[in-house]
Structure 1
């Protein structure tokens, strides 16, 4: 049975602008959302929540949801903690993401809201989100987004037999919370270096972690892989204009191309820059034989290295020829006798 494929077009999920929501044509969306900006908004020109609240304070903010259709619809909602995905983009769409170990106050844990909203035809409702600021004072930013998508009917088994692609759109309204105006700098840490796969292609990933409660902007990364003490670049990746959510991490990939993983010791040289901040690393890592074999077995678009097989086959052929020469020599000697 062919699987039903649903394509979710998340609008918008880019931290580079934090412009929430993105307006689309009525033909694309059955509903719309807009933030009701409160008096303690830091910048009232913004269409997302950017609030300053004292430690221990509580506040309820509202988003107006409007049903643009002549039918009743149900909107699924959640308040999501911002994370960084492996493309180096701040992601607000994950309801239950893996939380970084440096994040003390995930937005999802300090807010309360309903999981869904039922809207009659051509109607609007104010959707409340209760915020409870942590009692303990902190510097920096808590970041996330209020996520909205329309609930759709489940497909029957007969409808699932053929491949279908459906466009389902979603809104995210950003939410940034702080307790004071203290500016802090992002800091970047290099964690594990791991041979793995992305879409069945061999890659080595370097886990990068923003350990501070601030957005890391305009992040450029240069990464090169060498043999342990070599000077020849084996594989490399360069990427610019990435962003990281506060207290988050992501896996930066370096493609192995069409080459098989070879067991051995390697070195990763990496430079990351954000404005005037620069981080440099030179770290060793190992690809063991068991891991290399397992990943090479399932990797796509790999140019297999048959050198060892050719050497073994050549050696066996040579031994066979020598054996035949030996037998022929013995037979010839017997004939002469």
Structure 2
């Protein structure tokens, strides 16, 4: 199942399964970045920002950017709100993600910084980011990442004057904001269950939502699909080592195993675990005939259902047998006469 989802979601950069590494292929980079940790850094052994700030506090932090080449380069920079992608990974790479309705303070709204930085050959420059903490108090975490990519020009072969942005590798430095040491307990909710497709293959997705301002770690999810009142498992998926950003959601997939959707009502039984916390749900969902036909028409490598053909052939065989018996009976009757 992981391979199926990865086919759709492969992009040049995904944040690592660890919370805050600097993510990159360093051999492909023309520049480097380093966080300058301030005095209010909560854990000075970390290489990312983990800042304790009071309500309403304003602070400017810096990242040292170094051009390691003999050419001038331009770096695209942004402070991105952490979300959870559909691989169940915390993602810091999206500049304009769809945010969860429970997220009150996206980190991108609390910061101000330049979107482009020009670095002279073999030089270093400080990149400042101004942070304005919300005035109201809150517990636990506001989470994001400072995202750096080199800006490159790619000439379109159809139009030499067309300039396109091509970004292949990036650095991400984590940015975590807290007002105190008080944590909150995670609360996971199951929202809509929806028939859809991933990479042109039929799946049903269950939207899982972390409604609290805390990172949900080491999450295991086990989902099984039955007919409405059935006892046999039709489809299932188990994933572990998932992580969710604070106040975020993602779509957990259950593959239909290259089978056609059939209209009807189904039951999903799901169990999720993180540490000592366990959530259990039993939810019903419906696949309409219209949706089934639409997705089946677009699905690839789908296993065809030949039940109707078997019924037709069986019916024809039965008719032939009856006809044979009838004709044989008439012949026997004539012979007797």
**TM class, shorter-length:** 0.7 to 0.9
Equivalent runs, 1:24-173 vs 2, <5 Å: 24-25=26-27, 28-158=28-158, 168-173=168-173
Secondary structure of the corresponding residue to residue 154 of structure 1: strand
Secondary structure of the corresponding residue to residue 9 of structure 1: coil
Q: Is the 8 A contact 2:41 2:52 kept in 1?
A: yes
Partner of 2:18: 16
- For 2:102 and 2:169, locate their aligned partners in 1 and report how far apart those are by CA, in whole Å: 32
Q: Is the 8 A contact 1:21 1:47 kept in 2?
A: no
Secondary structure of the corresponding residue to residue 155 of structure 1: strand
Runs of 4+ in 1 over 3 A off after TM superposition: 309-323
Q: Is the 8 A contact 1:21 1:33 kept in 2?
A: no
Call closer, same or farther: CA 1:8–1:270 in 2, change over 3 Å.
closer
- For 1:154 and 1:176, locate their aligned partners in 2 and report how far apart those are by CA, in whole Å: 35
- For 2:17 and 2:81, locate their aligned partners in 1 and report how far apart those are by CA, in whole Å: 13
Partner of 1:329: none
Q: Is the 8 A contact 1:8 1:167 kept in 2?
A: no
| Alignment: residue pair count | 314
Q: Tell me by how many angstroms 1:310 deviates.
A: 4.8
TM-score (norm. length: structure 1): 0.87
- For 1:139 and 1:31, locate their aligned partners in 2 and report how far apart those are by CA, in whole Å: 36
Q: Is the 8 A contact 1:36 1:63 kept in 2?
A: yes
- For 2:119 and 2:136, locate their aligned partners in 1 and report how far apart those are by CA, in whole Å: 38
Runs of 5+ unmatched residues, structure 2: 1-9, 161-165, 327-337
Partner of 2:285: 285
Q: Tell me by how many angstroms 1:43 deviates.
A: 0.5
Q: Is the 8 A contact 2:78 2:146 kept in 1?
A: yes
Q: Is the 8 A contact 2:76 2:150 kept in 1?
A: yes
TM-score (norm. length: structure 2): 0.87
Q: Tell me by how many angstroms 1:140 deviates.
A: 1.5
Q: Tell me by how many angstroms 1:311 deviates.
A: 3.5
**C-alpha deviations, 1:233-262, integer Å up to 9, x for none?**
000000111000000000000000021101
Q: Is the 8 A contact 1:194 1:205 kept in 2?
A: yes
Q: Is the 8 A contact 2:149 2:167 kept in 1?
A: no
Secondary structure of the corresponding residue to residue 193 of structure 2: strand
Call closer, same or farther: CA 1:9–1:249 in 2, change over 3 Å.
same
